[in-house]
Amino acid sequence: MPTATRKFLLFRRKATKDRAPAHRVPAHVHPSKWWFLLGAVLLFGFYFWFTSARRVQEPIRIGSFGAGSEAFVNTVGPLLGANFTAGNSVETLVNGTQFFPAMLKAIREAKQTITLETYIWTPGKISDQFIEALGERARAGVKVHVMMDGIGTLKFRTEDRDRLRAAGVQVFKYGRQHWYDIKPNIMHRTHRKLLIVDGRIGFTGGMCIDDSWLGDADSPKVWRETQVRVEGPVVLEMQSVFAANWLQTTSSLLIGPEYFPKIKETGKSIAQCIKSGPGEGLENIRMGYLCAIASAQKSIEIGNAYFVPDDLEIGMLIAARQRGVRVRIVVPAINDSKFGRAVSRSRWGKLIEAGVEFHEYLPAMYHAKTMVVDDVLVTVGSANFDNRSFSINDEDAINVIDREVAKTHVRIFEEDVKRSRPISAKEFLGRPFYVRFGDSVCGLLRSQF
């Protein structure tokens, strides 16, 4: 063989040998990576399925009796473990300009006990006011108990906690006092917002102790919120909801007339307080919403910060439309989570096609959590219309049957609609492809929102 030919063949074999690893490595590495990714997807998929609301899977059919009927009261109360009680008075408070002064006034006038549960508590002007008011009452001999969520209070300062404790306030983080405490379900949080004073005055809604709520929703930095101030027998149910989480965290039972006094009727509202959460009334609030939607004969008005209905909830809202019920929903145009906004949008399509009216609130972040059915039933509480609130978090809600209270909430809802931008079917279906694709991808994670 000629020398030149031999050198060429040797060079070619060497070059092939040198290149071979570059072709062989992906054949060994890539399949394992894909199997790992597939396993991760399946694992997360199972987790999302496991944490999804699924106790009620079939549509609820109530029949001919409506939300304000005796049959509704006698059925839904026992089903949700919270009977309706008569003789309550309910005052609706819109935005921080109304509810913060009312709450602080109630605290400053407390005689025996104060129980407060919140999700978010961050340093600021309103935080200082609450700390001062709670501390003053504790120093005066009032028993003051504060429960806060560990995730929602990551910004809560140690010095503020120490100020409260130095004054005699009992302060605990729900279920996890130290970073090293093991919490089996890390996604489980208390999202409840409760203030009960002397077992006689109760507040609930969507607000937290944060300067974002300090104002009248007149700018994007000030959140739009709804609270209720309640007196009457239903306050005892609110106290029992707080006491349940207090017991879970401290192993201490709040008991006696200081917390559960004998209460006279103070108004004409029929009301119940529902609690839900893993291990205590799982999906009760979801079932309350579903029963109310099933009872609707004329109108459903939902205002919610995070509206992410599941398939059953979508189906029941569409069924309400098919019965001739007008369904209107107010959601935020300004959202504190772009991801959450996309998740929410991924669930609107079938509802808009069925004639459900969507409105995006423009002036500020819309954080209310309310529903009015047939101008008679009002729901207000801490729960969002999503799977996290319905099956993962601890939540609370007040259901009120009273046409005067409902009239107030309908008026507030109409004002919110006027400050909102309607979303037409043409506009929604005409979203750019990349927006629709992004919404769909984000929607795959809806069980966590």
Q: Which of these ranges, 17-21, 103-107, 277-281, 323-327, has the smallest mean pLDDT?
A: 17-21
pLDDT of residue 21: 47
* Catalytic residue chosen out of the listed positions 160, 198, 386, 439: 198
Alpha-carbon distance 111 to 200, whole Å?
A: 11
Backbone dihedral region of 175: left (phi > 0), alpha (psi from -120 to 50 degrees) or beta? Answer: left
More confident of the two residues 54 and 438: 438
Amino acid at 273: C
Which of 117-121, 179-183, 412-416 has the weakest average pLDDT? 179-183
Under the banding of pLDDT at 50, 70 and 90, the label for residue 28 is: low
Q: Is 58 left (phi over 0), alpha (psi -120 to 50) or beta?
A: beta
pLDDT score of 333: 92
Distance CA 320, CA 297 (A): 8
Which range in 149-153, 240-244, 434-438 is most confidently predicted, on average pLDDT? 240-244
345-362: average pLDDT: 95
- For residue 20, the model assigns a pLDDT of 46
72-86, 166-180, 262-276, 400-414: segment of lowest average pLDDT:
166-180
What is the rounded CA–CA span in Å between residue 323 and residue 321? Answer: 5
Interval 162-208: pLDDT, tens: 999 999 999 999 965 555 555 555 678 899 999 999 999 999 999 99
| Residue 132: both structure tokens together | 């001062």
Of residues 352, 397, 403, the one with CA closest to residue 374: 403
Residues 6+ apart with CB under 8 A from 169: 134, 135, 138, 144, 145, 146
The whole-number pLDDT of residue 6 equals: 54
Residue type, 154: L
- The two tokens of residue 306 are 């995070």
Mean pLDDT throughout 355-371? 97
Please return the burial class of 22, using the count of CB atoms within 10 Å of its CB with bins 0-12, 13-18 and 19+: exposed
Q: Is the pLDDT of residue 390 over 70?
A: yes
Q: Taking the CA of residue 200 as centre, how many other CA atoms within 13 Å lie in the half-sphere pointing to its CB?
A: 16
CA distance 45 to 435: 23
pLDDT at 155: 92
Superfamily of domain 70-448: Endonuclease Chain A (3.30.870.10)
* Domain limits, the chain: 70-448
Is 193 labeled as catalytic in the residue annotation? yes
- Which candidate in 173, 275, 359, 367 is catalytic? 367
Residues 6+ apart with CB under 8 A from 242: 115, 117, 145, 147, 192, 194, 196, 254
Q: pLDDT confidence of 311, banded at 50, 70, 90?
A: very high
Helix (H/G/I), strand (E/B), else coil: 329: strand
pLDDT of residue 23: 46
Residue 40 confidence (pLDDT) above 70: no
Residues 6+ apart with CB under 8 A from 81: 274, 281, 284
Rounded average pLDDT over 320-327:
97
CB atoms near residue 67 (< 10 Å): 28
Residue 439 annotated as catalytic: no
How far is the C-alpha of 344 from the C-alpha of 356, rounded, in Å? 15
Q: Which residue has the tokens 């009015």?
A: 372
Q: String of b and e for 169-200 (b: at least 16 CB within 10 Å)?
A: bbbbbbbbeeeeeeeeeeebbbbbbbbbbbbb
Local structure of 366: helix, strand or coil: strand
Which is the catalytic residue, given 188, 359, 369, 409?
Answer: 369
- Helix (H) or strand (E) holding 275, with range, is strand 269-276
Q: What is the pLDDT of residues 49-108, one digit of tens each?
A: 555 666 778 888 887 889 999 999 999 999 999 999 999 999 999 999 999 999 999 999
Q: Which of 173, 188, 191, 409 is catalytic?
A: 191
Tens digits of residue pLDDT in 225-256: 999 999 999 999 999 999 999 999 999 999 99
Look at residue 271 and tell me whether its pLDDT is greater than 90.
Answer: yes
Is residue 191 annotated as part of the catalytic site, yes or no? yes
Q: Considering the candidates 173, 193, 275, 409, report the single residue annotated as catalytic.
A: 193
Task: Determine the average pLDDT of the residues in 268-294.
Answer: 94
The torsion angles phi and psi of 413, rounded to 5 degrees, stand at: -65, -45
What distance in Å separates the CA atoms of residue 205 and residue 385, rounded to the nearest whole number? Answer: 14
**Spatial distance between the Cα atoms of 180 and 101, rounded to a whole number of angstroms:** 38
Residues ≥6 apart with Cβ < 8 Å to 176 = 150, 183
Respond yes or no: is residue 28 known to be catalytic. Answer: no
Quote the pLDDT of residue 159: 97
Residue 143 CB partners (closer than 8 Å, separation 6+): 112, 113, 114, 170, 258
Of 197, 202, 203, 204, the closest CA to residue 259 belongs to 197
At 436, is the pLDDT very low, low, confident or very high (cuts 50, 70, 90)? confident
What was the pLDDT predicted at 431? 87
- Mean pLDDT across the chain: 88
Q: What percent of the chain has pLDDT over 90?
A: 70
| Nearest alpha-carbon partner for 199 in 262, 244, 155, 249 | 262
- Number of neighbours of residue 76 by Cβ within 10 angstroms: 23
Catalytic site residue from 210, 374, 402, 439? 374
Span 407-416, average pLDDT: 98
pLDDT value of position 282: 82
Q: Where are the beta strands (DSSP E) in 142-225?
A: 143-148, 170-173, 194-197, 201-205
Look up residue 354 and give its two tokens: 């069925």
**Tokens in use for 50?**
């496991």
pTM of the model as a whole = 0.87
Q: Where are the alpha helices (DSSP H) in 140-233?
A: 158-167
pLDDT confidence band for 295 (50 / 70 / 90): very high
374 is catalytic: yes
Give the count of beta carbons closer than 10 Å to the beta carbon of residue 34.
Answer: 10
Q: What are phi and psi of 216, to 5 degrees?
A: -120, 30
- Which pLDDT does position 341 carry in this prediction? 81
Does the annotation mark 198 as catalytic?
yes
